Structure 1
Amino acid sequence: MTEPSARPTVDVVIPCYNYARFLRACVKSVLDQPGVDVRVLIIDDTSDDDTPEVMAELVRDPRVEGRRHEVNRGHIATYNEGLLEWAKADYTVLLSADDLLAPGWLARATAVFEANPGVGMVYGRVVYYTTDGDGDRAAAHDAPRLPRVVAPPAGRTVWSGVDWVEARCRTGQNVLSSPEAVVRTSVQQAVGGYRPDLPHAGDLEMWMRIAAVSDIGYVRGEPAAYYRVHQQSMMRTRFSSLFADLEQRQAVFDLFFREHPDLPPRLRALANRSIARDALWRAVRAYDRDQLDDIPVDELEDFARRVYPDTERLPEHRALRRRRALGPKACSRTQLFLGSHLVKRGRGLVDKQLWKWRGQ
């Protein structure tokens, strides 16, 4: 009789839609994880490329299982099928077929869970890299070329769930991309999965739901995952709209606080303020870059005012007013009013992908 394994078990759900060229490398990054017992759960959402053939090859490994939908169900339904219906291990990861786990990540993450029973989610630093054009063909191999990164000092942080939610309200931003998140399966299935009515920012809302019932851990040092950015990735296609991002994040906070009325009211006000500042900063940058023909500045200001009526008190609103007086041509040449505090904040607000790895 085989003795049960004493090692942590992790189910890695891999949704795949027309990503056959990435699938082998993705699965290999999971199977090569030391110190944990993994099971790979591939869900083919009716791909019309070579995904069925690649999946049939991969399931020869007993640690890999696969399913194929008869009709396309979309990414949200596919995610929830894996996370809520199929996963049974101690911990669960949702990993897109075009992304990779970093070596040793699952052992580092599960060590935090094992030492902290109240932790419901652990995440780490994600590295973004591009494989456009010829890079897409190269990425079909089991060892894609990854960027070199300098790892900060290793360490762990565990926040109370409320403190972590407050940090999200202070920035109005998500700090996870998804592949770097490991969730305690019992917590994931207790709070539920992704909401179909939040296709763009539903991950942020789900992370906060997890934080509402558990602590959150973060692991510094070596990367947790590699997020591939390419022309077909969802980041660049379905959800690249300026207002889709702002409106979806605002919808996330509205829904979350409506369903968690016991949380301090100041947190919702803090989130609204952060979203408004983000909208105004985008309007400010439109002047700095002479992009008024492409970016709807008036609509951004109206959105900010609806979200946070006291917009006139915000430094970004004062910066926008000065730029209107000066005009876009002068602003794009001089950028006179960019104080250092706004520059630092704006780098995170204009493109949240640049700072997600900080984990705070």
Structure 2
Amino acid sequence: MRSVSVVIPCYRYGHYLEQAVASVLDAQPGVDVRVLIIDDASPDGSDEVALDLAARDPRIEAVVHPTNHGHIATYNEGLLGWADSTYTVLMSADDLLTPGALGRAVDLLEAHPNVGFAYGYAVRFRDDEPLPPVRTQARGWSVWQGSDWLERRFRLARSGISSPEVVVRTEVQRRAGGYDAKLPHLADTQMWMRLASLADVGYVRGVDQAWYRQHTSNMSLSFDEVAELRQAREVFDSILTHLGGDVDARRLARLVRHKLAWEALFVATRAHDDGRASDAQLDALVEFALECWPQARRMPIHHALRLRRALGPRVMSALAPVVPPARGVRFLAESRDRYDSPWEVAEALVRPGRQSVRFA
């Protein structure tokens, strides 16, 4: 039987735990699954939920920290100190796997021993909404050389992967080591790229592999945008250092610095369109863009931002029906790197809640 170790760190998410664990154990045929719940000293009784689940099912183990270790240390404890199956999944206690997700990913990994991890679509949903319907019939696989997949990440300046949809070959995870505590908000982005530097990457096409919950407690929604962009730059710089002489580091550095500058200007333009940023916040984003790419003032998106700010919110509101929104501009600008075919572009337009092959 193919075996998967699933590590579920938990901090104050005990009310989600039973649903998360059920998604791992009750609808994953064809794989032998073990689960480790690590409660990181939650103050809300999550530890009791974890221990109760472990007492009811021998496939579940629970560890309760007496003091808080932080999420990175908790990840590494489970991945490097406990996981011993052929494959490993790291999943937050507030996310869920879709039915059959593990079997679909393991099928790909078994067929391609050179692939270090496999992933797929992650359907995002709001905390106050029911689970959206998902697709469970795969249309096939895509397999990329790790170096090709890495270059796409540098072109996009992000991984686009949420995390619960990823199944990692445990041997490759051990070679990569643990998550980097110096990158608390983007350690996962760095990890996917570190894994891709060691092995090829696989993608399960045409299905939804996980549900990713969005709510006000998500760290990604409480993190300062400029600080996140700076950490993204640090992540990509660290990968270039890690890769050493195996790649054209200068070319990749130019790709990601140019994209990060564009991304900062895009974030500023979107925030201006939404009316949720002060002049000081917009100025900070422009300053970051110029740090990354001194020629950023020549970018069309910089001219668009300057025009928006000059006209002011009242005029821009009146022009809204004829001015392309920032999100639309991003879609067009990134479509070459985000999608493999015109079919995927069409799917992204009609099903915008799902991540794309190239974006993810």
2:220 is paired with a residue of what secondary structure?
Answer: coil
1:107-118 paired onto structure 2 within 5 Å: 107-118=103-114
- 3-state SS, counterpart of residue 57 of structure 2: coil
On the 8 A contact 1:319/1:337 being kept in 2, the answer is: no
Task: Count the aligned residue pairs.
Answer: 336
The residue number in structure 1 matching 2:209 is: 224
Q: 1:42 aligns with which of 31, 37, 51?
A: 37
Instruction: Give the Cα separation in 2 of the matches to 1:295 and 1:193.
Output: 37
SS of the residue aligned with 1:203?
Answer: helix
Match of 2:170 among 185, 198, 215: 185
Q: 1:153 to 1:93 in 2, by over 3 A?
A: closer
Distance between the aligned counterparts of 1:345 and 1:245, measured in 2? 23
Q: Quote the residue 1:245 is aligned against.
A: 228
TM-score (norm: length of structure 2)? 0.86
Q: Quote the residue 2:251 is aligned against.
A: 266
2:300 matched to 1:315?
A: yes
Q: TM-score, structure 1 length as denominator?
A: 0.86
Answer yes or no: is the 8 Å Cα contact 1:287–1:327 preserved in 2: no
Counterpart in the other structure of 1:53? 48
Deviation, structure 1 residue 202: 1.0
Structure 1 residues 112-152: Cα deviation after superposition (integer angstroms, max 9, x where no partner) = 111111100100110111223xx6xxxxxxxxx41124679
Q: 1:20 and 2:5 equivalent?
A: no
Whole-angstrom distance in 1 between the partners of 2:23 and 2:73:
24
RMSD of the alignment, in Å?
A: 2.3
The alignment status of 1:96 with 2:92, answered yes or no, reads yes
SS where residue 96 of structure 1 aligns?
Answer: coil
How many Å apart are 1:343 and its aligned residue?
Answer: 5.1
1:255 aligned residue (207, 228, 238): 238
Moved more, 14-23 or 48-57: 48-57
The residue identity in structure 2 corresponding to 1:248 is Q
Q: Which amino acid aligns with 2:119?
A: Y
How far apart are the structure 2 equivalents of 1:131 and 1:294?
A: 31
Q: 1:316 to 1:44 in 2, by over 3 A?
A: same
Unpaired segments of 5 or more residues in structure 2? 336-351
Alignment of 1:61-100 (within 5 A): 61-100=57-96
Question: Tell me, what secondary structure is at the counterpart of 1:221?
Answer: strand
Q: Equivalent residues in 2 for 1:175-214 (5 A)?
A: 175-214=160-199
Q: Distance in 1 between matches of 2:107 and 2:14?
A: 32
Counterpart of 2:338? none
Taking the aligned partners of 2:280 and 2:205, their CA distance within structure 1 comes to 37
Structure 1 unpaired stretches of 5+: 1-6, 136-144, 349-353
Q: d(CA) in 2 for partners of 1:52 and 1:279?
A: 40
Q: Which residue of 2 aligns with 1:357?
A: 355
CA 290–78 in structure 1, closer or farther in 2 if over 3 Å, else same: closer
CA drift at 1:222: 2.3
